[in-house]
Structure 1
Amino acid sequence: MNANDYLDLLEIKFQKYFDVSRNMYILDNKIDMFAICNVVNSRTFITQNDIVDSYENNEYCFVKVFDCIDSMDIIYFCDFLKEALMKFVKPKANHMNSFITGVIVCDGLKEEVIDLVKKFKYSKAYKFYLYGWSEIRLILIDMKSKRVISNKPGKKVIKVYQFTS
């Protein structure tokens, strides 16, 4: 399986819940796949117009393919994800959480890269959590060894990115 086949498989998995776009330029970076999921949950009283409360959950997924990856590429991509968080997340009163998921697809990797991915951590609270919070998930996919590595928040969604037999 090559990177394009993997992206096609990922697009099929995403299409049910996400709006998916391929080959986009976001913040002056070429992103091979961009997916957005916005969910608004509401509780109502008697009719649907009598809304008691509501909250929204968002996920923005950025997938980028690298031929050869080193630690500088990881640092650059993490900086891009932090910048994307500032651009896409719009906290307001009914915002609960937003996840920025960065997925790196590559052929072969070094141990130092794995350590950087596992140690990466970034989250942000808005107005003492009254306007919700955001977190960045980082997933690294090695096409050569078929390994999927993630940071701690990424472990919650790592099954989505596993290779199917």
Structure 2
Amino acid sequence: MKDGIKMDGQAYLQLLQQRLQRYFDCKPTPEELPFALVAELNAADEGYFIVPSIKTYSVQHNEYLYVQRFEQPLTMAMVQPYLNYLRQKMQNLVTTTEHMNSLFALVLVCEKGLEPSVQQELTTFKYHKDYCFSLKGWSDLAVFIADLPNRQLSYNKAGRKTAAYFDFPH
């Protein structure tokens, strides 16, 4: 326990909701798997020439966030159904020529820690999907591990840019 502050899974979820509420929309949880929180961000950027009716470009960026709490030490067997679910969501994503990229993020909130091999396997985990040879964009799967007993956040390479959302308060 760092800084003498104890954080449980519910407090961590509330912290995430506060940080994300400005940009993300909460979504209903899917029936296939239980999630503690599902949220989505859709952003677009457009360029115009002199007047808005003459559009020079338009790109879309999306983030799909899935958070789950685990009350026992995390194992790869517990994580695998969530990874498979998000891989399937990436495969079935409908894109357009304006779609640039989407980030699918899985946040694993570990209230009782995790097996050492899990951290190594998930921080080196990589899953990337191109749509129509990248003409319709691409997606990456970011994995974040919030180890509450040690107040440590781990993530894979795809999660590097957005890790600040999920880090612990200092």
Question: Same fold by TM-score, threshold 0.5 exceeded?
Answer: yes
Residue 111 in 1 paired to residue 111 in 2?
no
Counterpart of 2:152 in structure 1 is 147
User: Closer, same or farther in 2 for the Cα pair 1:72/1:28, shift >3 Å?
Assistant: same
Question: For 2:135, which of 106, 113, 130 is the aligned residue?
Answer: 130
Question: For 1:101, which of 102, 105, 114 is the aligned residue?
Answer: 105
1:7-26, aligned counterparts within 5 Å? Answer: 7-21=13-27, 24-26=28-30
How many residues were matched structurally?
Answer: 162
Please identify runs of 4+ aligned residues in structure 1 that moved more than 4 A.
Answer: none
8 Å contact 2:29–2:38 — kept in the other structure?
no
TM-score, normalised with respect to structure 2: 0.90
Show structure 1 runs of 5+ residues with no match: none
- Percent identity over the alignment is 28
Instruction: Name whichever structure is richer in strand by fraction.
Output: 1
Q: Once superposed, what is the RMSD of the aligned Cα atoms? A: 1.3
Q: Which structure has the higher relative contact order (CA within 8 Å, separation 6+)?
A: 2
Question: For 1:81, which of 71, 83, 86 is the aligned residue?
Answer: 86
8 Å contact 1:95–1:131 — kept in the other structure?
yes
8 Å contact 1:27–1:84 — kept in the other structure?
no
Distance 1:43 1:138 in 2: 32
8 Å contact 2:70–2:108 — kept in the other structure?
yes
TM-score, normalised with respect to structure 1: 0.93
8 Å contact 1:14–1:20 — kept in the other structure?
no
Q: Displacement, 1:119?
A: 2.0
Question: For 2:76, which of 71, 79, 83 is the aligned residue?
Answer: 71
Show structure 2 runs of 5+ residues with no match: 1-6
